[in-house]
Amino acid sequence: MRTVLIAGAGIAGPALAFWLKAAGFEPTLLERACRLRSGGYVIDFWGLGYDIAERMGLIAEIGRIGYRVQETRIVDDTGRRIAGFGTRVFSELTGGRYVTLQRSDLSRLLFEKVSGRIETVFGDEIVALDERPDAVRVNLRGDGERRFDLMIGADGLHSSVRAMAFGPQSRFEKPLGYAVAAFELVGFRPRDENVYVIYGQPGRMVGRFTLRDDRTLFLLVFATQDAQLPATRDAQEAMLREVYGKGGWDCPRMLAELARADELYLDRVSQIRMPGWSRGRVALVGDAAFCVSLLAGQGSALAMISAYVLAGELGAARGDHRQAFAQYEARLRGYIGAKQRGAERFASAFAPKTRIGLHIRNLAIKAFAIPGLARFAIGRDVADIIQLPDYSWPLLDRSAAA
């Protein structure tokens, strides 16, 4: 029991490859895209994910490329501040171990830890999967048939491995009633450095955040019951113009400049809820197994935690995958379930669907100015209720983790 095929080089995939290698396995990392994605949305990163990054020797670099957000500010149609709070509370709750960074930067840092040390395949994907008692046989579109002892899907919310091994996405997807779009504009003005500026109307919000190199990130979350979002860029832009066309604040200029964004990310805000994360020799990690959605604000950390625990359990079980998969799930299921329920609760506060809901949300945020209240309100969601198990890593390359 040695060889493990991992599909997906986002966050969970490279983290899993690193820890499997440290546990003595031979991982192969397969990524459908031709190269790692750059740009994209920013993520908040803290807690056990941060601890794992530290064990991988990534904290100095994360600190260098990360952003230290000072304030979350809610503005009205004219851009006037109507509520907000200093984000120092997050730093206090996490002992300063809290950073905001681009998801693609975290993905790149994780990948660099395994690049050159394991087999990596870009621009290919599995088209057929045959799980047998002694091995998993996969057919790769470009590379033909390959055989592995285990197969792990780390291929995100729309996982093909999940679809092939467990059934169609519709069986496990729980849409939260919102869609999310994200894009970057170069040279957008004004810039409010290190401030997360939020503008909301009933059922829709826009977040604006300044990045280095004169870039500005826009994150849009809006209510929708559409099961299918438009697939072409033109149709996606048309949808955003329709939803935000009557918006105040920066909306008109944001929409006017939308066409010059290099990439536009648009997806449903959904969770994945499965009765089990493994079947035979196939298991899932990260969003593929249990996507908590952006509303949990912690999906990347959870992806890393699941990778770490799965690799640790496989090492501890000396490759007995049945035992390892069962332990992996036993350790994490309750914890992940709590994060999913928290994200569902938070959905209505993030982009309230009614004017009164919006007003109440803003009042609640104003109340964060009362000393201690923000700490009390946010604390439960920021704290991790589990501890990272200590596994032995016989082949942990101390130089790679340094």
Q: Looking only at residues 180 through 199 of this chain, which bind ligand FAD when binding is defined by CB under 6 A?
A: 180, 182
Nearer to ligand FAD, 298 or 348 (CB): 298
Question: Any contact of residue 384 with ligand FAD (CB under 6 A)?
Answer: no
Q: From the CB of 257, what's the least distance to ligand FAD, in Å?
A: 19
Dist. CA 366–CA 330, nearest whole Å: 40
Question: Any contact of residue 33 with ligand FAD (CB under 6 A)?
Answer: yes
Question: Any contact of residue 155 with ligand FAD (CB under 6 A)?
Answer: yes
Q: From the CB of 318, what's the least distance to ligand FAD, in Å?
A: 26
Question: Any contact of residue 103 with ligand FAD (CB under 6 A)?
Answer: yes
- Amino acid letter, residue 241: R
Dist. CA 77–CA 157, nearest whole Å: 34
Bridging pattern class, strands 26-31 and 71-75: unpaired
Asked if 48 and 388 touch (Cβ cutoff 8 Å), the reply is yes
Q: From the CB of 307, what's the least distance to ligand FAD, in Å?
A: 8
Question: Any contact of residue 43 with ligand FAD (CB under 6 A)?
Answer: yes
Question: Any contact of residue 273 with ligand FAD (CB under 6 A)?
Answer: no
Asked if 206 and 80 touch (Cβ cutoff 8 Å), the reply is no
**Binding-residue total with ligand FAD (CB under 6 A):** 34
Q: From the CB of 324, what's the least distance to ligand FAD, in Å?
A: 19
Dist. CA 381–CA 368, nearest whole Å: 15
Question: Any contact of residue 13 with ligand FAD (CB under 6 A)?
Answer: yes
Exactly one of 19, 44, 343, 396 binds ligand FAD (CB under 6 A); that residue is 44
Exactly one of 4, 5, 12, 151 binds ligand FAD (CB under 6 A); that residue is 12
Question: Any contact of residue 207 with ligand FAD (CB under 6 A)?
Answer: no
Question: Any contact of residue 156 with ligand FAD (CB under 6 A)?
Answer: yes
Question: Any contact of residue 286 with ligand FAD (CB under 6 A)?
Answer: yes
Short-list 216, 262, 256, 260, CA closest to 240: 256
Exactly one of 58, 75, 154, 206 binds ligand FAD (CB under 6 A); that residue is 154
Question: Any contact of residue 160 with ligand FAD (CB under 6 A)?
Answer: yes
Sheet order of strands, 264-272 included: 81-86, 71-75, 195-201, 204-210, 215-223, 173-186, 264-272
C-beta neighbour count of 225 within 10 angstroms: 8
Exactly one of 120, 300, 327, 362 binds ligand FAD (CB under 6 A); that residue is 300
Q: From the CB of 326, what's the least distance to ligand FAD, in Å?
A: 21
Q: From the CB of 384, what's the least distance to ligand FAD, in Å?
A: 12
The gap from C-alpha 168 to its chain's centroid, in whole angstroms, comes to 21
Question: Any contact of residue 9 with ligand FAD (CB under 6 A)?
Answer: yes
Nearer to ligand FAD, 269 or 314 (CB): 269
Question: Any contact of residue 152 with ligand FAD (CB under 6 A)?
Answer: no
Nearer to ligand FAD, 50 or 188 (CB): 50
Q: From the CB of 32, what's the least distance to ligand FAD, in Å?
A: 4
Asked if 307 and 285 touch (Cβ cutoff 8 Å), the reply is yes
Nearer to ligand FAD, 122 or 355 (CB): 122
Bridging pattern class, strands 126-131 and 136-140: antiparallel
Question: Any contact of residue 10 with ligand FAD (CB under 6 A)?
Answer: yes
Nearer to ligand FAD, 73 or 108 (CB): 108
Single out the segment in contact with ligand FAD by CB under 6 A; choices: 40-48, 60-68, 243-251, 363-371.
40-48
Q: From the CB of 371, what's the least distance to ligand FAD, in Å?
A: 26
Q: What angle do CA 306, 308, 311 make, to 5 degrees?
A: 105
Question: Any contact of residue 329 with ligand FAD (CB under 6 A)?
Answer: no
Short-list 6, 35, 16, 272, CA closest to 146: 6
Give me the residues that bind ligand FAD (CB under 6 A), please: 7-13, 30-33, 41, 43-45, 103, 125, 154-156, 160, 180, 182, 219, 286-288, 294, 297-301, 303
